[in-house]
C-alpha cells in the first residue's frame, strides 16, 4: 500500500469512526461478495447464451432477420459484460487485497 492510499484509508476510517484495520477487513469481505455476485452474473450470461445456442435454428431462420440481428447484438454485449465480470471474480476470490486496494485507488481518483 502506498502512502496516499494509507492516508486516504486513515481519513476514511476517521470519518466513519472506526479503525483502518477494521475498514480493511470490511473491504476484504466485500471483495469476496463482489466476486460471488460477478460469478452469478457469469452463470446467468452462460445460461442465456446456452439457451440462445439451443434456439439457433429458429433465430437464424430467414423469416426472423430482425430477431437474429438483435440476438447477435445481445450476445456481443453479454460477452463484453462477461469479460468485466470475470476479472472482478478472479480478483475477488484469489487476490482480495488487490481488489480492496484497487477500490481505494479508484476512490481517490
pLDDT in tens, 8-38: 778 878 887 888 888 888 888 999 999 999 8
- Is the pTM value of this prediction over 0.75? no
Residue partners of 98: CB distance under 8 A and separation at least 6? 91
pLDDT score for 100? 85
Model confidence band, residue 2 (pLDDT cutoffs 50, 70, 90): low
> Taking Cα atoms as reference points, which of 95, 101, 96 lies closest to residue 9?
101
Is the separation of the CB atoms in 78 and 45 below 8 Å? yes
Locus of grid cell 479503525: 19
Alpha carbon 55 to its chain centroid, in Å, reads: 28
> Taking Cα atoms as reference points, which of 41, 1, 39 lies closest to residue 21?
1
Amino acid at each position: 500500500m502506498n502512502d496516499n492510499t494509507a492516508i486516504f484509508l486513515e481519513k476514511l476510517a476517521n470519518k466513519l469512526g472506526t479503525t483502518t484495520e477494521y475498514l480493511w477487513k470490511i473491504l476484504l469481505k466485500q471483495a469476496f461478495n463482489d466476486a460471488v455476485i460477478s460469478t452469478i452474473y457469469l452463470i446467468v450470461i452462460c445460461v442465456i447464451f446456452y439457451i440462445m445456442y439451443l434456439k439457433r435454428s429458429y433465430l437464424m431462420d430467414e423469416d426472423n432477420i430482425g430477431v437474429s440481428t438483435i440476438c447477435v447484438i445481445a450476445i456481443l454485449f453479454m460477452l463484453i459484460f462477461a469479460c468485466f465480470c470475470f476479472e472482478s471474480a478472479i480478483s475477488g476470490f484469489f487476490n482480495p487485497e488487490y481488489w480492496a486496494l484497487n477500490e481505494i485507488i479508484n476512490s481517490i481518483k
